[in-house]
Each structure stands twice: as C-alpha cells, then as structure tokens.
Amino acid sequence: QVLLVQSGAEVTKPGASVKVSCKASGYGFTTYDLNWVRQATGQGLEWMGRMNPENGNTAFAEKFQGRLNMTRNTSVNTVYMELSSLTSEDTAIYYCARGSGSYEFWGQGTLVTVSS
Amino acid sequence: SYVLTQPPSVSVAPGETASLTCGGNNIGDKSVHWYQQKPGQAPVLVIYYNTDRPSGIPERFSGSNSGNTATLTLSRVEAGDEADYYCQVSDSFSDHRVFGGGTKLTVL
C-alpha cells in the first residue's frame, strides 16, 4: 500500500533551519509530485510547495520564496523539505502529500516547534 | 494570488443535508478538491476534480463547481461527519496550489 513516512518532531531556535524528510513506498517514487503542506495550531492548511521527484523541478508558494528548499534522494525514495530563518510563526505540523492536483495520500505529519 | 473563501462554520442536524461552499473568482474554470480533517489527524480527500469520490468515501459526499462557487454536499449527515472541511484548487496553468480557510461542520 502507499505510505508516506515522515521524520520525527523537531525543536529548533529562531533563526535556525529545519529539515524534514518524507519517505515514500508502495508506488513508483518518480510517478507523482510530492507536496508540503503545513498547519499551525488551530489554523487551516497552507500549501508550501511541491517537487517533481523525477526531474527535481520545484514550485514554491510566494510566501516562502527564498527560505524554502526541497530536495530528493531517489535511491531511498525520499523527499526533503528545508525551511530556513525560522520564527515562532513557523511552529506548525508539516505534512507531505502525494499528487499534482489532489492529494489522496498524506504523511503522518511532523511537528516543528520554534522556540528560544 | 488566488483566494478561496469558505464560511468558518456550518451547523446541521443529523439526517439533514449540509452544503459547504468555496468561493473564488471563476472557480468553475478550475478543478476543486475537498478534504475532511478530524482533530489530531491528517486530512482525508473526500472529493477530487469537482465531483469524483475516492474509493471508500460514501456516496453521501458529492461535489459541484460552477461560476464563482464550488460546493461540497453531505447528505443524510451523521455525527461522524463532524470535522473541518477544506477546499483546494488546481489548474493546468499554474504550478501553485491554494487551500481555502476551512469550514467547521458541527452536527447538532
């Protein structure tokens, strides 16, 4: 079955960076885009960006331009999301989700806490 | 950037029909997808490409999209349908995606 398994919770300080991984299994890794969506406590879903694992092409929401990066390692079927210059407003659950239009499969979420 | 507008909350009695709207400029020209999210869980896709249901989603869930409004309709609402619902759009002319602010469905 399709599984997206994310790395564990992170606690980090303002100004630092965080890198979260999303390991895919149960399907052809390069067949579908992988997206990152975040959700602050009590808030809605926010699309951050997406990557085509086949060619590495990315698209980022304007809000995150300049401090968001996505990479992949096709040998281990994993996509990475790195967010830099963190502030307390980046404290949220970060999800990876598979798809180009709709997202049928989601990771379990990774809580990132930014605190001094 | 493209903006999607959802009412913050909708209440409905069990057995009744709930209509959850998602407004956007000419949203009828785009593909709309709907997600259900219960507390502490990842979102679940309930409608994709305006009207299609993933396997396992009850027929009570249906969608429509025209003009400036897309609608998720839940028929014969059950207590277990109580959740937050988010719309999301995609189109072939943009690499970017956006979610609506979400609607909290309360079953009275």
Among B59, B27, B30, CA closest to B46 = B59
Please list every residue in chain B whose beta carbon sits closer than 8 Å to the beta carbon of residue A61.
Answer: 1, 96
* pLDDT values of chain B reduced to their tens digit, one per residue, 108 residues: 889 999 999 999 999 999 999 999 999 999 999 999 999 999 999 999 999 999 999 999 999 999 999 999 999 999 999 999 999 998 777 778 899 999 999 999
Cα end-to-end distance, chain A, whole Å: 40
Contacts of A103 in chain B (CB under 8 A): 33, 35, 43, 45, 88
Using one digit for the tens of pLDDT, what is the confidence trace for A28-56? 999 999 999 999 999 999 999 999 999 99
Q: How far apart are CA A22 and CA A9, in angstroms?
A: 13
Tokens standing for residue A88:
């307390």
The Cα of B77 is separated from the nearest Cα of chain A by a number of Å equal to 23
Phi–psi pair at B25, nearest 5 degrees: -60, 115
- Per-residue pLDDT of A73-107, as tens digits, reads 999 999 999 999 999 999 999 999 999 889 999 99
